[in-house]
Chain A
Amino acid sequence: MSHSRLSMPRVLFGVAAALLFLSPIVGAQTTAITGGTLLPIDAPAIEGGVMLVEGGKITAIGAADAVKVPAGAVVVDATGKVVMPGLVDTHSHIGGIGAADSSGPLQPGVRVYDSINVRSSGFRRALAGGLTSLNIMPGSGHLSSGQTVYVKLRYGDSTPRTIDAITYRFPDGAPMGGLKMANGTNSIRNEGKGGFPGTRGKSAFLVRSLFIQAQEYRAKIERAVDEDGNPDESKLPDRNLHLETLLEVLDGKRIVHHHTHRHDDILTVLRLAEEFGFRVVLHHVSEGWRVADEIAAAKVPCSAILVDSPGGKLEALNLVMECGGILEKAGVRTAFHTDDWITDSRLFFRSAALAVRAGMTRQGALESLTLAGAEMMDLQDRVGSLTPGKDADFIILSGDPLSVYTRVEETWVEGEKVFDLSDPKDQLYAEGGYGAGEEISPYFCCYDHLMKKEAN
């Protein structure tokens, strides 16, 4: 039954696409989302509003009497539904990733971009959860496990063939992303193998040493360049991918995404960020509630995790559901993340909803899943709100975003429907079942000392 419901619009779309191909004079197709409750995030909710999409961008949004649906537009009737921006996950491990290996604690030159399997079912499941932009990160078993990559889930009827099809780009064309760093216990390895630290003091020492090396590397390069900006090849230092990455961090091009749980570890990150002047987002922040004022004063944003109970490990012993609300109240820009596989991408709304249960405002919670995360990845001009000029990444929900009973019914990326709950294939990813899951867990390299209690 759902097959026949589905095939019709697909046929129509196919015809439209064929017409477009055959006759270049036909203008770009407009899609109009009508009748639903629009939650633009950066503006108040619009009941029964209209949003127009053309060329993959949002072109207009407003009340039904203010935005006219042009003749010939494809109308998506969202009456009784809630429409909001696609969710932005600032911290995910899907895609069968693996970056730095066990050879050393600081490997900023290694890219997670080079490890991603675009055919991983994790991407389909993320779309089922309403996620459209992700920061895919290597793990936290290192002080720096490498570069992260920001992706946009352009998954239509056909799966992207390579990672490049879904990668956001810096203005220079390079894959866009941040740098994953970590402190606390994950990256502390008592055996001291491969130069890994055994204490927090040593962890900070190693990081400071490498940043100072990067500063000296920069000075060498500057000395090799004359007044007109021409480099003297003989004076240029050998290329060093690790240090080149840190220069991007020092230049503010690449944001540090820093795993940190305990309040003193959080303050260590703020201290290092101040010393070297890098931009940073604090991730997890289990004890962020203890130093919310200090984080606010440093004007550093937080991407928090919310799991169901404290004590996943010692450094998360004081994790509380109240954290998001306390950070919000202190004036800290706050997002949540899935940390998928730690929590499931399909249940991302749950993190924000439980934060509301524990004191966060509804508006803060909705921003924490969208615009706040976009800002933490320098993507706020592209995504995170339903704003004319931004990418047409949006989701259609069956009801209140913060209710357990609400389902993501459709996910759209750049004006294309990429998930439809009424399609049995998509439903499989949304609910689970035979063939929905991932064969292997993400490769985190250096967690063996933490995970040894679990077989396999």
Chain B
Amino acid sequence: MPKNDALKKLLIIGSGPIVIGQAAEFDYAGTQACKAIREEGIETILVNSNPATIMTDPGIADKVYMEPLTEEALIAILERERPDGILAGFGGQTGLNLSMVLEESGALARLGVRLLGVNRDSIKRAEDREAFKELMLAIEEPVPQSAIATDMESCRAFVAEVGYPVIIRPAYTLGGTGGGMASRDAELELLARRGMENSAIGQILLERSVAGWKEIEYEVMRDAKDNCIIVCGMENFDPVGVHTGDSIVVAPIQTLRDEEYQMLRDASLKIIRSLEIEGGCNVQFALNPENSDYVVIEVNPRVSRSSALASKAAGYPIAKLAAKIALGYSLDELKNYVTHKTSACFEPTLDYCVVKFPKWPFDKFGAASRKLGTQMKATGEVMAISRNFEDALLKAVTSLEVKLEGLRVDSISRLNDEALLHKIDVCDDERLFAIVEAMRRGESVEALHARTRVDPWFLNKLGNIVRMEKALEKEEMTVELLREAERMGFVDDEILRLSGVSGKLLQDIRDYHNIFPVYKMVDTCGGEFEAVTPYFYSCFDAEDESRVSDREKILVVGSGPIRIGQGIEFDYCCVQGVWAIKELGYEAIIINNNPETVSTDFDTSDKLYFEALHTDDVMNVVKKERPLGVVLQLGGQTSLNIAENLAKRGIPILGTQFNAIDLAEDREKLRNLLGEMGIPTPAGKSVTNEAEAFAAVKEFGYPLVVRPSYVIGGRAMQVVYGDEELKKYLEEAVSLSSEHPVLIDQYIEGREADVDAIADGEDILIPGLMEHIERTGVHSGDSISVYPPHTIANEVADLLVEYTRRIARRLNVVGLINVQYACSGDKVCVIEVNPRASRTVPILSKVTGVPMVKLAVAAMLGKRLRDSGYGVGLYRKMRLHAVKVPVFSGAKLTDVDVALGPEMRSTGEVLGVAGDFAAAVYKGFLAAGMRIPLEGGFYVGLRAPDQSAEAAETLREYVRLGFKLYASEGTGRFMEKYGISAETLRFEDVLQKTGEEILGLINVPEVANKPGSNSFDIRRKAIERGLPVLTCMDTAKIFLEAIKLKKSGAAPKYATLEEYLGDA
């Protein structure tokens, strides 16, 4: 069936901000979909509020609306654009839900817009638990016993029937928000209530638990002709009970006999056919290992995180093919994108083993429970490929960047046996390491299987790793042993440490016997056909398939897994970098390990190495390819961290050199440098013990900012106001990082500004300045920031430009640099210098139209900014206003505070863009999913330092707008002093009224992130009810703009980025 020629213009809905459960995979899917449609000559309109994405870049879609993903905005855009259809299956749950709303309200019918790829019935049947169960019963596919509940009565009745444990899943949510497993009455009460609250329709599913069964997933595709294929089957290391997003996942399926594999394959095909999906879908099964019985757990009628993983694991671009299918093509008319010759209507066969490992944010959220369950907690993931499971697993662990060389975690090695077994039973993010430690202590596979239900096949493989550890420790080093250890994925440092042999000896054996990794191709067909796609992984085997061209090459080091503080924006920069390198005529090679992203799409670069980003792995690729230079400044802290090692080995680093990176990152050196240059920076000291710390206190006085050296995302950074707090911090922080000292800086209160510049060694170009709404003390990643600055005076702006130019010049920056400033009155002071791409690069590139990464790469390759056509100095100010609003995955991590502080907590961001400031603010809040109330009550609770006249002015404005204010006792007294009427409430009453009379919080806590404290509970409840929680007075003040605009009733205008830029 060829393409439907009636389709001339299509709209694609993106997934909005990155939150846990909905991350970079939808940038990958959306980008592929846009490209697949555009190359058919169809006009492509994209709506997405996430500025850090590649898909919102010029050149991917024909028109980009960076507008909130709300019904109102979508209808306005549909009315303007009148597309022929909507592709709803590429924007995750957000896109799907929004499409459903548009369909149900009749808007699509009214505007003559077709829903492509999925239809209302299939979404309903896949997503509505009851409808799904009915369908499964109708097609005779087994599902666990279950019941739908909208009240507690029916929950209790169900449990009385099937017994505990039961699984609770809310209907219509992302990544299992609010779900969980209940084994007791109390847990049932808690989880069921929360689930009903979280569900968009107040509905939950209760299900008999099949925890402990094997969890198996299939990625299925179907076209309108009813051709169906399985792209990839995957098996979870962790049995049912842990969300698949939090599971170690292996592809292909390892432990199923062909009959079992085909049984589930048949079921998958039956299911996608019954749902009549035209495109991709994910089916999850639980399989009883004792007798091969199975049940269908879940179906996602769209591309998903799993489909991104499957695409990368199998080399089969699901989103691209799903988009083609939505246009009317059938699979048997399309070509395999990897071989270019064979058909797309086939099932990829893998000749390697893939391991996906989740990346969790617990290093950032010290207080959060690490226990894993049915609610996803990971922010990102890594993938590793090898010819055996052991190597793939070890590579994945290296890729996590948690400083592990192998599977040994010191804190776990130190546990006594009892504590160790307890840790295994709890099932947290470190369970794998605990299992391996138990094996080291002699625990049997049988015993561990009984305890964990992890399949013995996996446990035996872990046993192989443990046996190799012991062999290295006890046996004489031989060529055979080394070969075997390398084949299993042991890294050099681990081999040296365990065997005690010298590095020289190891190197000699290696050289003489030629024990080096080779690169194999991911080709979808197990080598059956010749492939043209240059997608490689390393392994210890005989033949190296990576042919090195004679072109000049540049290697871009990627940013690894998405984590808090290092998100999708760095993948954006890497992809832009690759494109720029290609445009300049060089061969662009990328090395990265994140399966979700565009950078690891095998048609992004000229050559993709799917590898860990450890120095050894990068060096192996460097040795192989001998690039002209390596680009390290685009992959965030990950790539920057290996600068020293590469510099020491004499590897050419493009752009800014290591010595400059070191100067900027080492705060002591930076302070001295800025001092010499006469540029103000907060006084500070680096201390290694308590005595030195208190000496510093004497010198600077409180408040102080304390942090460990070398940081990402303000890790473990804190503002301290007194001795006791400082003492406590030092005890915890020093144990966090013993290699590096603790830094103590003066805390400067003021406005914060982010300056991003491109430097060529001579000149700099600053596309624009961004000002933070929240004052210093709130992490820049978590603050609302605006372009252009709205309070910074011109003279101050001039100073920012001048300082940035001088710093760039002095550090000899070539490429990108980000400088963060605190501005107080007409004084400007440097807080941080990052000689690399930053979070704000994609935003500024989009709102100014200056292609920052492209210019930076050109500068690295010797081009002059003066000749770029964009000029030098500060670029002209656009007439648009843009407001970046952070988004927190608050609903997912129930024990994490949302109160702002110096530690970054947000997982993503949105951009509100408009012709005027207030509308941009309004759109920003809206896009961030913040409910903007027009009436009702606000609860106000402010810590002492915030009980100021300025705060009173803001609160008075809330009263003036007709809101009723409630207050804690202390805050009430303060408000009374300023003549602001407020009803004083006890804590219990606040909690009870939240969500009823109280529709928002203005709450600046003394100490953030203290679960169990009163105000924490109030904030949690408000977040779970979807209420605005404003934890900084600056945020509360700017929120007024959004309320006022909404009250005025003026409908905001929606336009494309190009139109906003054109207004300049």
**Chain A complexes with chain B:** no
